[in-house]
Chains A and B, each alone.
Chain A
Amino acid sequence: MSLLDRFLQKDEVALSRLISYVENQAPDYRKILSSLYSRTGKAYRVGITGPPGAGKSTLVDKLSCDLIQNGNEVGIIAVDPSSPFTGGALLGDRIRMQDLTTKKGIFIRSMATRGSLGGLAFATKEVSLLLDAFGKDFILIETVGVGQIELDIVDACDTTLVVFVPESGDSIQAMKAGLMEIADIFVVNKADREGANRIVSELDMILDVRRKKGEWNYPIVSTEAVNNKGIDDLLKKIKEHRKYITENHLLEKHRKEQIKSELKKIMELKLKELLEKNLSDANLDQLAEKVYSGQEDPYSAGEKILENLNL
């Protein structure tokens, strides 16, 4: 039986193998995604971002527990950074999800960024397509959370949670970093710690400017993820947001935007491959010589190469 046949029979070993093929951009990865694409679109995707140590993994763990108890199948993608020097990575999010691992309907995959800078790995979206096609009802995606603007998540999810903690005390700073703009729901985790109320009211003040009557109200939810407190409330808000964007056709609009960037990504990658195939190092060396010695300028040289590609 082929891997795809096994995948369609819900064999997790096959799912996992196909995820690697896609992540590694194995020769057949486009064909894999293309043949499964018609099965996607059913999963609801929730992104979780916020600084390291804020409790993202713990929240994912607890949210997933609730979701599977209610009969949902859940896929989780947890992204951690690759070392820019060695390409290696230490992926530790599973430590917070130990008991989930063996539960029915759960599939957790850790991904290293492998050089990608927007908070997700290059292939995170494609991996979520596979989980979707596999039949997951919900997909939770945890970003790296190193603090830069992690805009990738908006492009890969339907609802985005941004997690704050009392000791960060930097909601203003977060605004600068662009975090405020990407959140649909604000989570203040570690509510057991001092300063939680202050953060909530600070966020509240900032959000008041943005909240408009009759529109989505950007709720703030206090949680204690380790103590499993506030999780039901958070899940309720996620469902409310889903209902709101579905009824107001915002989900449809958002997903069409995502398809556009998907299309662009597919074409850009193909072009890059084409270029790499047609432009050998020797070729490039030759051109550099010509430009250096003044025989040609780099702009016309570049144009000529592109013309020769016969797109």
Chain B
Amino acid sequence: MRKKYRILLAKPGLDGHDRGIKVVAAALRDAGFEVIYTGLRQTAEMIVEAAIQEDVDAIGMSILSGAHMTLFPAVLDLLKKRKCEHILVFGGGIIPDEDISKLEKKGVGKLFTPGATTGEIIEYLKKALKEGRKEEAVF
């Protein structure tokens, strides 16, 4: 077995600041992850479709535009519809504490706010993904 963790990183919404997410992408690569970067202006549908095609373990979204309360739940809903709830959804952005706890209650993973280090993100992912997924019957 040569399993690698695969992470999809996306930058939904209309703002064009992708510096932060590119830094995270490079850090995850250097930590041994396979990172699929899908670029700017992604809709929830595009993100979930790409995550399914790439069979990722987690989706990370960077949202600076304030649309976090709609985008994170939208992605979770679509994942549920496609029976892909095993995919962890985490993210980062300028998100108020009360929104963070609301989103976490809905099933979103950890949300990192400005100031979080890439080391913290790596630690978190390694821990969260360690258990691995339930193997399904092939035949």
Nearest B residue (CB) for A99: B46
- Top 6 A-B residue pairs of the complex, sorted by shortest distance between their CB atoms: A95-B39, A88-B29, A16-B55, A88-B32, A90-B29, A20-B55
> CB within 8 A of B138: which of A21, A94, A95?
A21
Contact check, A91 vs B36: say whether CB atoms are below 8 A apart: yes
B interface SS class: mixed
Does A221 interact with chain B (Cβ within 8 Å)? no
Contact check, B138 vs A19: say whether CB atoms are below 8 A apart: no
Does A261 interact with chain B (Cβ within 8 Å)? no
> CB within 8 A of B42: which of A17, A92, A98, A107?
A98
In the complex, identify which listed stretch (B1-9, B64-72, B96-104, B106-114) lies at the interface while the others stay far away: B1-9
Contact check, B84 vs A114: say whether CB atoms are below 8 A apart: no
Further pairs besides A82-B34, A87-B4, A98-B41: 19, Cβ < 8 Å: A3-B136, A3-B138, A12-B52, A13-B83, A16-B53, A17-B55, A20-B55, A24-B4, A27-B1, A31-B139, A87-B32, A88-B34, A91-B34, A92-B36, A94-B38, A94-B50, A95-B39, A98-B38, A109-B54
A222 to B3, CA, bound (A): 41
Q: Which residues of chain B have C-beta atoms less than 8 A from A92's C-beta? A: 36-37, 39
Q: A86-B29, A88-B29, A94-B39 are in contact. Are A114 and B49 (CB under 8 A)?
A: no
Contact check, B28 vs A88: say whether CB atoms are below 8 A apart: yes
Does B15 interact with chain A (Cβ within 8 Å)? no
Does B116 interact with chain A (Cβ within 8 Å)? no
Does B128 interact with chain A (Cβ within 8 Å)? no
Does B89 interact with chain A (Cβ within 8 Å)? no
Interface residues of A in 1-38 (CB under 8 A from B): 2-4, 12-13, 16-21, 23-28, 31-32, 35
Contact check, A83 vs B30: say whether CB atoms are below 8 A apart: yes
Contact check, A2 vs B139: say whether CB atoms are below 8 A apart: yes
Q: Which residues of chain A have C-beta atoms less than 8 A from B38's C-beta? A: 94-95, 98, 101
Interface residues of B in 1-59 (CB under 8 A from A): 1-4, 25-26, 28-39, 41-42, 45-46, 49-50, 52-55
Contact check, B35 vs A88: say whether CB atoms are below 8 A apart: yes
Chain B min CB distance to A125 (Å): 16
Nearest B residue (CB) for A6: B136
> CB within 8 A of A3: which of B42, B84, B137?
B137
Q: Which residues of chain A have C-beta atoms less than 8 A from B137's C-beta? A: 2-3
Contact check, A95 vs B82: say whether CB atoms are below 8 A apart: no
Chain B min CB distance to A36 (Å): 11
Q: A19-B55, A83-B29 are in contact. Are A114 and B4 (CB under 8 A)?
A: yes
Does A258 interact with chain B (Cβ within 8 Å)? no
A86 to B28, CA, bound (A): 10
Does A110 interact with chain B (Cβ within 8 Å)? yes
A interface SS class: mixed
Does A283 interact with chain B (Cβ within 8 Å)? no
A311 to B2, CA, bound (A): 26
Render B69-99 as a binary contact track against A, CB cut-off 8 A, 1 for contact: 0000000000000111000000000000000
A6 to B35, CA, bound (A): 27
Q: Which residues of chain B have C-beta atoms less than 8 A from A91's C-beta? A: 34-37
Contact check, A18 vs B52: say whether CB atoms are below 8 A apart: no
Q: Which residues of chain B have C-beta atoms less than 8 A from A82's C-beta? A: 34
Q: A2-B138, A107-B53 are in contact. Are A90 and B3 (CB under 8 A)?
A: no
Q: Which residues of chain B have C-beta atoms less than 8 A from A86's C-beta? A: 29-32
Q: Which residues of chain A have C-beta atoms less than 8 A from B4's C-beta? A: 24, 87-88, 112, 114
A27 to B84, CA, bound (A): 23
Q: Which residues of chain B have C-beta atoms less than 8 A from A16's C-beta? A: 52-55
Render B109-139 as a binary contact track against A, CB cut-off 8 A, 1 for contact: 0000000000000000000000000001111
- 21 sampled A-B residue pairs with Cβ under 8 A: A3-B136, A12-B53, A16-B52, A16-B54, A24-B3, A82-B34, A86-B31, A86-B32, A88-B28, A88-B33, A89-B35, A91-B37, A92-B36, A92-B37, A92-B39, A95-B38, A98-B41, A98-B46, A101-B49, A109-B54, A112-B34
A36 to B84, CA, bound (A): 24
Q: Which residues of chain A have C-beta atoms less than 8 A from B45's C-beta? A: 102
Contact check, A24 vs B2: say whether CB atoms are below 8 A apart: yes
Nearest A residue (CB) for B41: A98
